Amino acid sequence: MTVALPLETEVLNKLRLELLKFLSDRSGLSVPAANDLEAR
């Protein structure tokens, strides 16, 4: 099954966003892109 369910996609997107924030926090960088993704 190659087609992901909408819920799975939403969860993966949230996990990816959290990972992006985590990495940016650890590297001491502020990433406006993360905020833009969250606003969508």
Q: How many angstroms separate the CA atoms of 8 and 20, rounded?
A: 18
pLDDT at position 7, please? 85
**pLDDT digit string (tens) for the chain, length 40 residues:** 567 678 888 999 999 999 999 888 887 765 555 555 565 5
pLDDT at position 29, please? 61
* Alpha helices (H) in the chain, listed in sequence order: 6-27, 32-39
pLDDT at position 24, please? 84
Give the type of residue at 3: V
